[in-house]
Amino acid sequence: MRYRAFGRTGLNVSVVGFGCWPMAGDRYGAIEDDEAVKAIHRALDRGVSCVDTAPAYGAGHSEEVVARALDKRRREVVLVTKCGVKPPPPGQLGPLRDSSRLNILHEIDASLKRLRTDWVDVLLVHWPDAGTPFEETMRGLEDVVTSGRARFVGVSNFTGAMIAECMRTRRVDVSQVGYHMFDRRQEQETFPSCLTNGIGVMGYGSLGHGLLTGAFTAATTFGDPSRDWRGNGVAFGQPIFRGDNFRTNVGVIERLRREVAEPRGVPLSQIALAWVLGHPAISTALVGARTPAEVDANDAGAELDLTESERAKIDAILVGAAGRVREFTPLRPAMEPWGAEIPAGRPA
């Protein structure tokens, strides 16, 4: 395992982090808690030192699974959780965004109880909240740090302009954003300012939310969106899983496997992970896993470096991807399109 500086926090993190959204048990299909704990243990044994969770993942269930896994191993990891997203009242669509100081303080206490720890290393605001001034949010995060409940704080799914506004009140230590071969918006949106300001970057969706595992075919379906969010067809503003777009993207994946992964003699997932880690802004690339075997398959990509010719070939193949958009508008719901689709065959 390789390690990188986590921005200017003074911490080092493994280049592969363990993403715990699947542990919710209700968004990527069913998953057994015992298997999830074993997967986390396997990741730690392989040198993974960053574990990312959130109270919004399964209404706190993911945090409870993480607590089981980190029993007696808490000090081995940089533990990250989030705040600012909560269930709606009965009969109202949700989830709700609430990054008020009062809610931040309430949520961190509930998270610490579920995680069975006195502190987290990083607390992130999960999504921007249009109803709360960023100044209030950042002062709430500073209160969490001052009280010792988190060592560092940051934001998730914020635009570059939002991060700049937050920084007027309090330093943003860490930013978490989606980044993978089918979503390169952050290369222009936030990565330049994160590099300039020494902000640690956690990239999620490193395997394209499963696309880049190579496990899907044109006939794959995801069923009820309430059990697997990909059934809705849209991934964080991009309809890459929808209808013809999905079938086109499966073809793109097949080209990547045949023209890049096979000549290198490695699974496509390792190529995808190495591609993410090739960007200098990335501190850690988050990857979810359901079983120890999946951990083994994914983490090997941390040791892989792509050549310039391989990266150029990947870029050329990705021009054929469908369902990408240029807009990054995270105040809108994550599972609806955020802009006009870039036609397949045109560079993003």
pTM score, two decimals?
0.93
Instruction: Give the contacts of 116 (CB within 8 A, at least 6 positions apart).
Output: 67, 71
Contact 6, 284 (CB under 8 A): yes
The runs of H, that is alpha helices, within the chain are 33-45, 61-69, 101-115, 134-146, 160-167, 186-189, 191-197, 243-256, 262-264, 268-277, 292-299, 308-318
Taking the domains of the chain in order of start, what are their residue ranges? Answer: 3-209+272-305
Q: What is the pLDDT along the chain (348 residues), one digit of tens a residue?
A: 999 999 999 999 999 999 987 766 554 445 688 888 999 999 999 999 999 999 988 788 899 999 999 999 999 999 999 999 987 777 766 689 999 999 999 999 999 999 999 999 999 999 999 999 999 999 999 999 999 999 999 999 999 999 999 999 999 999 999 999 999 999 999 999 999 999 999 999 999 999 998 889 888 988 888 778 888 899 999 999 999 999 999 999 999 999 999 999 999 999 999 999 999 999 999 998 888 888 887 777 788 999 999 999 999 999 999 999 999 999 999 889 999 999 988 877
Residues 23/189/174/303 CA torsion (nearest 10 deg): 70
Which class would CATH give 3-209+272-305?
alpha beta
Record the tokens describing residue 63, joined without a space: 């945090």
Pairing of strands 3-5, 12-14: antiparallel
